Amino acid sequence: MTLAQDAKSILDSLGVDPALYTGGTLTKISPMTGEEIAALPENTAEDTAAAVARARAAFKEWRMVPAPKRGELVRLLGEELRTHKEALGRMVSIEAGKIPSEGLGEVQEMIDICDFATGLSRQLYGLTIATERPGHRMMEQWHPLGVVGIISAFNFPVAVWSWNAALALVCGNPVIWKPSEKSPLTALASMAILQKALDRFGDAPEGLAQLLIGGADVGNALVEDPDVALVSATGSTRMGRIVGPKVAERFGRCILELGGNNAGIVCPSADLDMTLRAVAFGAMGTAGQRCTSQRRLFVHADVYDDLVPRLVKAYESVSVGNPLEANHLVGPLIDKDAFDGMEKALSDAKAVGGTVHGGGRVDTGAESAYYARPALVEMPEQSGPMLHETFAPILYVTKYTDFDAAIEAQNAVGAGLSSCIFTLNVRETEQFLSAAGSDCGIANVNIGTSGAEIGGAFGGEKETGGGRESGSDAWKGYMRRATNTVNYSSQLPLAQGVVFDI
């Protein structure tokens, strides 16, 4: 069976209309083999305006549905995802090039956020606040915000949508999704799964959850539409620099989840066996195409000569190839541009004195598929391409002797998503986690930078955009807060002791 047939049988099993992925202008290539697996009709900017109008109408109804009932829809979505986990996980592999366990893991992440959001639907708590005025009560309420636009990237083609959609729906908002042009089929599959949940739910308003397939014009139309209350965008920092100011200009709200240049510090006391495994997964897993991928490593001089040669060995022995055909751990890069970007970063690294282990194309016989051997680059100091995110499996390693300087170096890049430390020393651990430690949204101890679980807030600082999604109180980003002061007395005392007698 070709991958095109494989994809079709998955989409058929979910009840996706073939007209949605055949005969159109957006061609989808599987990175596994380079073969064309679909050609999707595309939406236009006008379609976007119509979708927003439908969503506005849906909002008026959905915001009045009690939150625990809204949670029921998301609970059903979680059930449907459990039923269709294998199919959707395989679609993620075919479309994004993930190894099977990561494709399934991504669907598990969707199930987890549905469970989280369902519980949350009974916990959208506001505070009650002590008031200085007698006979008064002060409280806050969280109300639905409005239409939520979700712009997602190819590398987590479905989980990131679900983080946003599950929370937004529970919070009383309709959602409009513009997936990456590189991952439209998993979006069709996810929407078909959501439709099953909607059918079982019964009376959700039409236009509550919509999908727009298209390019930058569609994304731009969402970003500029004043009726889109929140734009949640995941992608490059370059994309965020375009989206952020446009949404700010119309005083809309943004959740930005942009690039990462995630570092780890390996201290003298580190458990090196554990460090080796954690770094191998963080740096080579998903072919280095997670926003949380481990990209930099600062290794103490005392353990450098022990750890780094072992890491180099792991880089040499890791198996790269089509993970749907054999048990490979590293699948393909998404396309030729990604491979070219990796080549360029490696040649830039050499130009500033880096020693490159690995890298280069792995020939699988598929001419238009781009498999790369992961690269470990020993750098004399942090410079050149090490300062920027390259969305490919490159790990830059430098030696350090002074712990404070290592923390400073880890923070000395634009991005601020994820970070980690490997140590058994409590002083180093706590310093790393303190206000003077890692400046990232995620700081881990004896765990790599990637693979965060649902429950914690996900996102980062600086050029990562500052947004938080998924767990903790990220739901507040999808609601508006109203502070209410109620006077149940017969007097009208003014705050701050102001007197205004008429």
* Span interacting with ligand UN1, options 47-55, 75-83, 286-294, 396-404, rule CB under 6 A: 286-294
Q: Which of 80, 109, 257, 463 is catalytic?
A: 257
* Span interacting with ligand UN1, options 169-177, 325-333, 335-343, 446-454, rule CB under 6 A: 446-454
Applying the rule CB under 6 A, the residues between 183 and 242 that interact with ligand UN1 are 234
Beta-carbon contacts of 295 under 8 Å, excluding residues fewer than 6 positions away, are 260, 261, 262, 263, 283, 288, 389, 390, 394, 395, 396
452 forms part of the interface with ligand UN1 (CB under 6 A)? yes
Nearest C-alpha neighbor of 76 from the set 211, 204, 232, 210: 204
Nearest approach in angstroms of CB 409 to ligand UN1 is 23
Nearest approach in angstroms of CB 160 to ligand UN1 is 6
Separation of CA 102 from chain center? 14
450 forms part of the interface with ligand UN1 (CB under 6 A)? yes
Cα dihedral across residues 459, 340, 338, 374: positive or negative: negative
257 is catalytic: yes
Angstrom distance (rounded) from CA 374 to CA 357: 8
259 forms part of the interface with ligand UN1 (CB under 6 A)? no
Nearest approach in angstroms of CB 444 to ligand UN1 is 10
Using CA atoms, how far residue 227 sits from 48, 126, 338, in Å, is: 11, 26, 35
User: Which one of residues 30, 118, 121, 155 is an interface residue with ligand UN1 (CB under 6 A)?
Assistant: 155
Angstrom distance (rounded) from CA 410 to CA 421: 11
Angstrom distance (rounded) from CA 86 to CA 483: 45
User: Which one of residues 40, 99, 168, 291 is an interface residue with ligand UN1 (CB under 6 A)?
Assistant: 291
User: Which one of residues 75, 196, 290, 296 is an interface residue with ligand UN1 (CB under 6 A)?
Assistant: 290
The side-by-side arrangement of strands in the sheet containing 128-129 is: 128-129, 136-144, 479-487
Applying the rule CB under 6 A, the residues between 42 and 71 that interact with ligand UN1 are none
User: Which one of residues 332, 448, 451, 477 is an interface residue with ligand UN1 (CB under 6 A)?
Assistant: 451
- Total binding residues toward ligand UN1, as defined by CB under 6 A: 11
292 forms part of the interface with ligand UN1 (CB under 6 A)? yes
* Span interacting with ligand UN1, options 24-32, 154-162, 268-276, 479-487, rule CB under 6 A: 154-162
Question: What are the E-state strand segments in 64-220?
Answer: 128-129, 136-144, 147-151, 175-178, 209-211
Nearest approach in angstroms of CB 291 to ligand UN1 is 4
Angle, vertex CA 361, rays to CA 284 and CA 179, nearest 5: 60
Q: How many CB atoms lie within 10 A of CB 197?
A: 21
Interacting residues toward ligand UN1 by CB under 6 A: 109, 155-156, 160, 234, 290-292, 450-452
**Catalytic sites, residue numbers:** 257
